[in-house]
Amino acid sequence: MLSRRAFAGLVAGAAFAAADARPMFAHQPKSATVRPLPLAARPLPTPAQLAWQRDEFALFLHFGVNTFTNREWGDGTEDPSIFNPSLLDCGQWARAARAAGARAVILTAKHHDGFCLWPSKTTQHSVASSPWRSGQGDVVRECSDAARAEGLRVGLYCSPWDRNASVYGDSPRYNDFYIAQLTELLTQYGDIAEVWFDGANGEGPNGRRQVYDWPRIWGTVRRLQPNAVMFSDAGPDVRWIGNERGSAGDPNWSTVNPAIVTAPGVDGPEIIRSLQHGDRDGTVWRPGETDVSIRPGWFHHAAEDAKVKSVDDLVGIWFSSVGRNSKLLLNVPPARDGLIAAADVNRLREFRSAREALFADELTGLEWAWRVVPGRQLEGVAVLPRATAISVIRMGELIEHGQQVVRYRVDGDVGHGAWRELSRGETIGYCKMDRLAVPVSVTRLRVTIEEFLDSPSTVLVRAFAART
Ligand code: FUL
């Protein structure tokens, strides 16, 4: 029988735990076990992917000429003179992000209109041609400096689809152009944590058809920012979650079969399934990022100021993204004056308060006693100091050692040894959160890992009491 806070896995009946078991949750003590982990032949995250996942929550900032034209997709013919965010204060963006509990921001350095928020040498279609700061300004610089000053990591979105570039569609020339833009972004603005490649392309049948040189593009990012993760439908490091509603698949594997989604911007039911759920037997570690806007649109439109998502909606998204082994990238678009509107700033603050309330009363110090039960299942039981109404259960695998849990169940002792099922699910990964519709008062908790792949690594279980 294994008895420790976090259980160790089992291989051929032998107990083990990770030698370097880093606690997933800061307050929990390091596992005392020192026996080396016999790593199964399963994909594992890189340090950059681990850091990305541990951020849990990042803010997306859609800002550019669309902010001034009131559009979602610009066509590249915008006059740069319309870009004049007279009160622009990236410190306000960064403070709002930090106050919301985000650990990174991702800025649209270039959207599909091709307008660059930095003074790129590759094009006239940029802030340098605008009246803002007399053409001397650089939003990428101000935003990245402000974010770092608030302790946030920086990511950049640079749209491959470019409706302004005259060389777009002349594939070799545009690939050179795009690589030159990425090179500017990845060499002049310090450490970049994430590079975001969206898959949109609205060129019609007579449109310009660009063949992107993805191996070269990805190779350039790897060379210039080796610690950055690259996001796209096809990764290579982080995959799109397959919708823009804030809903990760359930189950959600961080592993994928790389033969299913091979390039950004390709559609189809099997592709969306793989993006949503990952692939249990996938050979590549490519966790899903859930991007969703706090408003109906990605860019700020004054007409949507009253349509900012409610706190309940945002909390629901928290559970269907972070709570389903994904990471939340919540878009909060700055307005024309260069500031995030008060409605959004306030909502972000309320969202944080709502999360703090949900997770305020953690049952700390629970001792989990783990044992093997017939049928290759593992069961952990913890006795609560007193009967407590449980409202949320948060579990996490030590994903440094891969994702292993296929199915689990959580029961509570509702009195005199009567077990009642509280939740069940498929996959845990970095984080699985189950919110009980009605809090249940229990004296003991029991977690059963009903099925795992080859060798489950440490699973940490946290329980939160309902606020009375
Ligand atoms: C999509 C774009 O077309 C949208 O405008 C937005 O940027 C979204 C996050 O990605 O591909």
Confidence of residue 360 (pLDDT cuts 50, 70, 90): very high
Q: Between the CA of residue 371 and those of 6, 8, 70, 132, 287, what are the distances in Å?
A: 12, 10, 60, 65, 30
Map out the domains of the chain as residue ranges: 4-37+361-465, 48-358
> At which residue do the structure tokens 């407590």 appear?
388
Say yes or no to pLDDT of 19 above 70: no
Q: What pLDDT digit, counting tens, does each position of 43-76 carry? A: 999 999 999 999 999 999 999 999 999 999 999 9
Lowest mean pLDDT among 10-24, 258-272, 299-313, 391-405: 10-24
What CA–CA distance (Å, rounded) separates 307 from 300?
11
* Interval between CA 332 and ligand 1 midpoint (Å): 13
Beta strands in 35-189 (DSSP E): 57-61, 104-110, 153-158
What is the model's pLDDT at position 373? Answer: 87
What CA–CA distance (Å, rounded) separates 267 from 68?
31
Options 3.20.20.80, 3.40.50.720, 3.30.1330.200, 3.40.1280.10; CATH for 48-358 is 3.20.20.80
What CA–CA distance (Å, rounded) separates 40 from 15?
14
> At which residue do the structure tokens 């969202």 appear?
351
In short, whether 200's Cβ falls inside 6 Å of ligand 1 is yes
Say yes or no to pLDDT of 21 above 60: no
Q: Do domains 4-37+361-465 and 48-358 have the same CATH topology?
A: no
Tell me what percent of the residues of the chain surpass a pLDDT of 70: 91
Say yes or no to pLDDT of 438 above 80: yes
In short, whether 291's Cβ falls inside 6 Å of ligand 1 is yes
* Long-range Cβ contact pairs of 269-274 (< 8 A, separation 24 or more): 271/233, 271/242, 272/242, 272/243, 273/242, 273/249
What is the model's pLDDT at position 457? Answer: 63
For residue 337, give the amino acid letter: D
> At which residue do the structure tokens 């935003």 appear?
143
DSSP, collapsed to helix, strand or coil, labels residue 377 as: strand
In the beta sheet, which residues pair with residue 248?
none
In short, whether 202's Cβ falls inside 6 Å of ligand 1 is no
DSSP, collapsed to helix, strand or coil, labels residue 53 as: helix
Q: What pLDDT digit, counting tens, does each position of 312-339 carry? A: 999 999 999 999 999 999 999 999 999 9
CATH code of the region 4-37+361-465: 2.60.120.260
In short, whether 298's Cβ falls inside 6 Å of ligand 1 is yes
Mutate which of 298, 299, 329, 332 for ligand 1? The one with the most ligand atoms within 8 Å of its CB, which is 298
Residue 27 and residue 216 in contact, taking contact as beta carbons nearer than 8 Å:
no
Q: What pLDDT digit, counting tens, does each position of 231-244 carry? A: 999 999 999 999 99
Say yes or no to pLDDT of 88 above 70: yes
Report the Cα 460 to chain-centroid distance in Å.
Answer: 20
* Interval between CA 198 and ligand 1 midpoint (Å): 6
Helical packing angle, 139-149 and 90-100, nearest 10°: 40
* Interval between CA 200 and ligand 1 midpoint (Å): 6
In short, whether 63's Cβ falls inside 6 Å of ligand 1 is no
Greater confidence (377 vs 136) lies with: 136
What is the model's pLDDT at position 204? Answer: 81
Mutate which of 72, 163, 198, 267 for ligand 1? The one with the most ligand atoms within 8 Å of its CB, which is 198
